Structure 1
Amino acid sequence: MDDYPLLNLFWTMLWFFLWIMWLFLLFKVITDIFRDHELHGWAKAGWLVLCILLPYIGVLIYVIARGKGMSQRDVKQAKETEAAFQSYIRKTAGTGGDGKGSSVDELARLADLKDKGAITNEEFERAKAKILS
């Protein structure tokens, strides 16, 4: 251990950390390139070639040029995912307006969803009040 001082260890750890951060950013950029529906085939290919041939500079240029759009696409995808999840919850924990099942069955299904963590206590209480009314 005498031939590798503590300061060199910290320096190595810093570079390793920065390399891992860059890898995460590279994967984020590549995911964003394929997720963006405004970019057409040649533009996507161009960005990919830039990020692969000039990895550090290409990723940096992409983040500078299209960083705002990246965050907007992330927010849009999060909203779509949340809406799909809420739709699934409403469908799964529906009030049974089609005449199938009794209130007891619906309450049991709601309790099961709450126990699994699929719905919050607030959503459970609202659905329960709707079933019981």
Structure 2
Amino acid sequence: MGIMSEFKEFAVKGNVVDMAVGIIIGGAFGTIVQSLVNDIIMPPVGLLLGGVDFSELFLVLQGDGVYATLADAQAAGAVTINYGAFINNVVSFLIVAFAVFMLVKTVNRMKRKEEAVEAPAAPAAPAEEVVLLREIRDSLRKD
């Protein structure tokens, strides 16, 4: 089998297509989570912490002057550590990780239910007559 035919077989398998769909949906999900963090979760958290806007938290490492916003510092060419953006990304990661955990947990629960339905039933106990006949047979063999 040539390398092209092997690649074709690999590329058209259902798992590859499922993976591609998952990556596309994951990208869209990432956008939704980023909006959830930046627009819904972090503003109330910042308000509870005294009106802090996490996206504007930064530390100037090199640059002249005091900058009111991160955009001002970046426009002036200052070197900054944007720890507020890092906090937002950590919260985004935690949300995505929790969502994936819940998805995997649900899939595992569904698989266990399928396996329980598909599992063969334990063999039924032999009828009383069969047990009696076996005992007679075994006793005849001994004699």
Find the structure with the greater CA-based Rg: 2
Same fold (TM > 0.5): no
Structure with the higher fraction of residues in helix conformation: 1
Q: Which has the higher contact order (CA 8 A, sep 6+)?
A: 2
Q: TM-score normalized by structure 2?
A: 0.30
Q: TM-score normalized by structure 1?
A: 0.32
